[in-house]
Amino acid sequence: MKQSFILSALVCALTVPFAVQAQTKATAAEATAMVKKGVAFIKTNGKDKGFAEISNKGGQFNDRDLYLTVYGIDGTVLAHGANGKMVGKNLIDLKDIDGKEFVKERVELAKSKGTFWQDYKFTNPVSKKIEPKSMYCEKLDDAVVCGGIYK
């Protein structure tokens, strides 16, 4: 009995960290679903209420390392779920650690494709480390709504 308890405890101790890690990072399906939910929310409630809810860190569009951002087609941040200080700033020339102009690329992809995935590197708000990120985006009128996953 004691041996089986120790074995069970050991198995739990070894598997719990992996389960916690899996729960910490959002999936591509979750990012896609959140963007679609955000687009629907904006369409139903209007841009002002939609952008405010997306920028609300405690709101429905912020889950673990997954949050939404909205950019105007000119590169201006209209809503940001992880950093409200970005709202109103034009980031069209912003580059990631590798020099990739990801905001410029994002708005160009929005104009040409409408719906897309984009890869770049960005600071994960959970780990506080620069990590590879894939962003799912959908164009909505003169804006692009995005949510991403860290790899």
Indicate the CATH number for domain 26-150.
3.30.450.20
Distance of CA 151 to the CA centre of its chain: 12
Give the predicted TM-score (pTM) of the model.
0.83
- Of 92, 46, 65, 67, nearest to 145 by C-alpha is 67
pLDDT tens, per residue, the chain with 151 residues: 554 434 343 344 444 444 444 468 899 999 999 999 999 999 999 999 999 999 999 999 999 989 999 999 999 999 999 999 999 999 999 999 999 999 999 999 999 999 999 999 998 888 899 999 999 999 999 999 999 999 8
Residue 36, pLDDT score: 98
Maximum Cα–Cα distance for the chain, whole Å? 67
Residue 54, pLDDT score: 98
DSSP string, 58-107: TSTTEETTEEEEEEETTSBEEEESS-GGGTT-B-TT---TT---HHHHHH
Residue 124, pLDDT score: 84
